[in-house]
């Protein structure tokens, strides 16, 4: 009796690749919109972009540290919020 194979077919890989690109581009577009409108939701999209990215990153898979994806994604969220606040400050100072 043959064992169950967990390998993906080429079609399944293409669907997975499409969904990953769709997710990333949707989150990036939403993040730009939220930053442009001064919404704190930009932090959430920054977190989700980073969290999604780490699942695709070869380097992230080498880290066996518990919660490393959460740490990376949190850094992305904080970086997004800092960019939001700095850009708002520069805009108010009429430097942008």
Domain boundaries, the chain: 13-92
- Give the pLDDT confidence score for residue 65 in this predicted structure: 64
In the structure, what pLDDT confidence band is assigned to residue 4 with cuts at 50, 70 and 90? low
Residues above pLDDT 70, as percent of the chain: 82
More confident residue, 67 or 49: 49
- Give the pLDDT confidence score for residue 44 in this predicted structure: 92
Do the Cβ atoms of 45 and 64 come closer than 8 Å? Answer: no
Q: Is the pLDDT of residue 54 over 70?
A: yes
Do the Cβ atoms of 40 and 81 come closer than 8 Å? Answer: yes
pTM, entire model: 0.65
Do the Cβ atoms of 49 and 31 come closer than 8 Å? Answer: yes
- Give the pLDDT confidence score for residue 56 in this predicted structure: 65
**Secondary structure of residue 3 in the 3-state scheme:** coil
Q: Is the pLDDT of residue 72 over 80?
A: no
Dump the DSSP string for 36-93.
HTT-THHHHHHHHHHHHHHHH-HHHHH--STTHHHHHHHHHHHHHHHHHHHHHHHHHT
Residues above pLDDT 90, as percent of the chain: 10
């Amino acid at each position: 009796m043959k064992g169950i194979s967990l390998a993906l077919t080429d079609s399944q890989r293409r669907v997975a690749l499409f969904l990953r690109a769709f997710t990333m581009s949707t989150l990036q577009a939403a993040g730009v919109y939220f930053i442009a409108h001064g919404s704190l939701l930009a932090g959430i999209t920054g977190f989700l972009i980073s969290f999604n990215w780490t699942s695709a990153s070869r380097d992230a898979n080498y880290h066996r540290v518990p919660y490393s994806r959460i740490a990376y994604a949190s850094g992305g969220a904080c970086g997004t919020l800092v960019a939001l606040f700095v850009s708002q400050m520069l805009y108010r100072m009429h430097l942008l």
